[in-house]
Amino acid sequence: IPSIEYIKEEEMEGKNVVVIDVLRATSVITTALYNGASEVVTAVEIDEALKYKDENTLLGGERRALKIDGFDFSNSPIEYSREAVFGKRIVLTTTNGTKAINKSMRAEKIFIGCMMNGKAAAKKIIEYDKDAFIVCAGTYGKFSLDDFICAGKIINDAVEEKDVQIDDFAAAALLSYRDNRDDVISYVKNAYHYKYLISIGLEDDIKYCFREDVFDVVPEYRNGSIRL
Ligand code: MLT
């Protein structure tokens, strides 16, 4: 699905979904859990996130991609190191990614995907042998190239593993990935959010998020929290 605005929530009923916000929310969630955070809880509003704060809970997220006053982390995945997050609960509020997760609540299973766990996410889709959506968070409700090519990578890994049926949107994402897999970052250089992140000095985050298959874990949302 090109972005969350393009789908009615009821269409996800009974299906599995992989939610992607490669720049940067789902890359943050995957990194934090891989590095030993006990769970990630998403909050829509800043005030809601602040209410969770206790000695075992760290707050992360962004508005306009910048750290929120009073929070422990920004939305930079590099900050969520093992040292910083091990054993901690993370409460995350972001503009697009956490909304896409919230919009997927009617799905049967909700997985979290990014470039860094793409192959593992593809295996999850196949493992359950059931219709699946890849839900791109997009940027402010609009289609985004960065999520699109990430979807293409996961679809590529799925079709290499098994003869799965894909729709035309998925086929377009797959072709984009295959045509640009040697230099995905050049492909996303035209993306709105890419340009914005560069303009505020976050090039290292982009390089970090576009590494492929460095984690073999797939976070899953269940009963109000995301865990491995
Ligand atoms: C979001 O959820 O809107 C994004 O992850 C924004 C960002 O890059 O921080």
Say if residues 150 and 30 touch (Cβ distance below 8 Å). Answer: no
Q: How far apart are CA 219 and CA 228, in angstroms?
A: 4
Compute the distance from residue 138 Cα to the ligand 1 centre, in Å: 9
Compute the distance from residue 62 Cα to the ligand 1 centre, in Å: 7
Q: Cβ(134) to ligand 1 under 6 A?
A: no
Asked if the structure places residue 14 within a domain, the reply is yes
> Which atom in ligand 1 lies closest to the alpha carbon of residue 62?
9
Asked if the structure places residue 219 within a domain, the reply is no
> Which atom in ligand 1 lies closest to the alpha carbon of residue 94?
2
Q: Cβ(147) to ligand 1 under 6 A?
A: no
- pLDDT of 6 reads 75
- pLDDT of 177 reads 98
| Residue 35 CB burial class (10 angstroms; 0-12, 13-18, ≥19) | middle
Asked if the structure places residue 217 within a domain, the reply is no
Asked if the structure places residue 18 within a domain, the reply is yes
**Is ipTM > 0.85 here?**
yes
pTM: 0.96
Rounded-to-10 torsion of CA 179, 182, 185, 189: -40
Asked if the structure places residue 71 within a domain, the reply is yes
| Residues making up the chain, counted from first to last | 228
Asked if the structure places residue 185 within a domain, the reply is yes
Q: Encode the chain (228 residues) as per-residue pLDDT tens digits.
A: 766 777 788 889 999 999 999 999 999 999 999 999 999 999 999 999 999 999 999 999 999 999 999 999 999 999 999 999 999 999 999 999 988 999 999 999 999 999 999 999 999 999 998 999 999 999 888 899 999 999 999 999 999 999 999 999 999 999 999 999 999 999 999 999 999 999 999 999 999 999 999 999 999 999 999 999
Number of domains in the chain: 1
Asked if the structure places residue 64 within a domain, the reply is yes
Asked if the structure places residue 224 within a domain, the reply is no
Q: How far apart are CA 119 and CA 112, in angstroms?
A: 12
- pLDDT of 183 reads 96
Compute the distance from residue 197 Cα to the ligand 1 centre, in Å: 10
- Domain CATH number, residue 99: 3.90.1560.10
Q: What radius of gyration do the chain's Cα atoms show? A: 16
Q: Cβ(94) to ligand 1 under 6 A?
A: yes
* Whether the bond into 181 is cis, omega within 30 of 0: no
Q: How far apart are CA 103 and CA 105, in angstroms?
A: 6
> Which atom in ligand 1 lies closest to the alpha carbon of residue 26?
5
Please choose, from the candidates 155, 149, 97, the residue with its C-alpha nearest in 3D space to the C-alpha of residue 123.
155
- pLDDT of 9 reads 86
Which residue range(s) make up the domain with 23?
Answer: 4-212
Q: Cβ(176) to ligand 1 under 6 A?
A: no
Say if residues 89 and 39 touch (Cβ distance below 8 Å). Answer: yes
